[in-house]
Amino acid sequence: MPAQAPLTTPVLEAARLRKHFTIKHAGKTQHLHAVDDVSVVVRPGEALGLVGESGCGKSTLARLLSRLLEIDTGSLTLEGVDVAGIPVGRFASSPQRRLIQMVFQDPTESLNPRFSIFDAIADPVRMLVKPRSRAELARRVEAAAGQVGLAPELLSRFPHQLSGGQKARVGIARAMAVEPKLLVLDEPTSALDVSVQATVLKLLAKLRRQAGVALLFVSHDLNVVRLLCDRVAVMYLGKIVETGPAREVFAVPRHPYTQALISAIPKIGKRPATAGRLDGEPRSPIDPDPRACRFHGRCPRQQDICAIDPPELRAVGPGREVRCHFPVE
């Protein structure tokens, strides 16, 4: 089972983050609410899973937390230092950049085809660590490669000469080379074969144990999140709708949407569960009705109040929160 994270100062703490994208259509200005009033805490050494269906805002939130996108409003601290106000371009070379590194979804697209594997891993080291000599740079690159199980002879090759699993290891080594405190992983195994996925997940668990790095794991694969993560946050149309210890959330989901997600997990030898099955389509994220719950229209538990009074995220037990007027008992 995943180790429990110590109760210490958070590596990352985000409060009321918001990101809206402006859309102009037929002379009319609209706003796509990608992330709305989201708060996230990641503690040293823990693994937090962020789940939800495609288009719910998971990847946008991951990029906000990694400071790859500008934040509209809200606060974001890394080890107690507020970084929300640092422009993305300037943050790329700031001392806090080392603390949080991102591993991208497609290992092929995220690697420069003109860089050797050595240079791909060395690039962030040159920018953020500024080694004093070529020998020091080589030591760091070789150590990071060894940490993820990349053979030394692969360092002189180029991305097109590597398998998908090897390229995934390069992406992780590149992130680990600057000794981060938190890895943000955006669907890091979705482009890989199932057998390779298992190898990469074992590698991430090993890095967490041995290097003490925390993980924010963005995924639509609930089985992976259940195995890898201590806590889980469920996202729906730009908002967090449920958080809690992974074991408890998967055993007893409290939000109707979480219940529907978990009931849809395939089970060998069993028919799909009918409890929690959803009808209808998600609401549009473009200028959603501020008076209604985002889940209204699909929710099997909805009442009249859900259309006129959007629920807040509230505690429903130790370490558990749910955004629902009528949570599942």
What CATH number is given to the structural domain containing 144? Answer: 3.40.50.300
Q: What angle do CA 178, 183, 185 make, to 5 degrees?
A: 130
Could you give the CA distance from residue 122 to residue 174 in angstroms, rounded to a whole number? 7
- Give Cβ neighbours of residue 224 (< 8 Å, ≥ 6 apart): 189, 197, 201, 217
User: pLDDT of 96-115, one tens digit each?
Assistant: 999 999 998 888 888 999 99
Residue 122 belongs to some domain of the structure: yes
Residue 117: inside a domain = yes
Give CA–CA dist 45/218, Å, rounded.
16
Question: Is 6 within a domain?
Answer: no
How much is the pLDDT for 274?
54
pLDDT band at 3 (very low <50, low <70, confident <90, very high): very low
Question: Which DSSP helix (H) or strand (E) runs through 46?
Answer: none
Would you report the helix, strand and coil content of the chain in percent, each value rounded to 5? 35, 25, 45
Distance CA(129)–CA(125), nearest Å, equals 5
Per-residue pLDDT reduced to its tens digit, 43-88: 999 999 999 988 899 999 999 999 999 999 999 999 999 999 999 9
- Residue 209: its pLDDT value, please? 92
Average pLDDT estimate for 263-280? 68
Task: State which residues form the domain around 142.
Answer: 12-322
DSSP string, 164-220: HHHHHHHHHHHHHTT--SEEEEESTTTTS-HHHHHHHHHHHHHHHHHH--EEEEE-S
pLDDT over threshold 60, residue 275: no
How far from chain centre, in Å, is Cα 65?
9
Q: Give the separation between CA 119 and CA 102, rounded to whole angstroms.
A: 17
SS3 string, 245-286, reads EHHHHHHCCCCHHHHHHHHCCCCCCCCCCCCCCCCCCCCCCE
Domain membership of residue 188 (yes or no) is yes
Average pLDDT over residues 305-311: 95
User: Residue 273 above 50 pLDDT?
Assistant: yes
Confidence of residue 271 (pLDDT cuts 50, 70, 90): low
In a domain, 3, yes or no: no
The number of folded domains in the chain is 1
User: Could you tell me if residue 54 is inside a domain?
Assistant: yes
pLDDT value of position 184: 96
Does residue 170 belong to any structural domain of this protein?
yes
* 57 touches 49 (CB < 8 A): no
Evaluate if residue 6 carries a pLDDT over 50.
no
Instruction: Return the number of other C-beta atoms located less than 10 Å from residue 304's C-beta.
Output: 7
Query: Is residue 234 situated within a structural domain?
Result: yes
Q: Are 33 and 20 in contact (CB under 8 A)?
A: yes
190 vs 245 pLDDT, higher one: 245
pLDDT, tens digit (0-9, with 9 covering 90-100), for 183-224: 999 988 877 788 888 888 899 999 999 999 999 999 988 888
pTM (2 d.p.) = 0.91
Under the banding of pLDDT at 50, 70 and 90, the label for residue 277 is: low
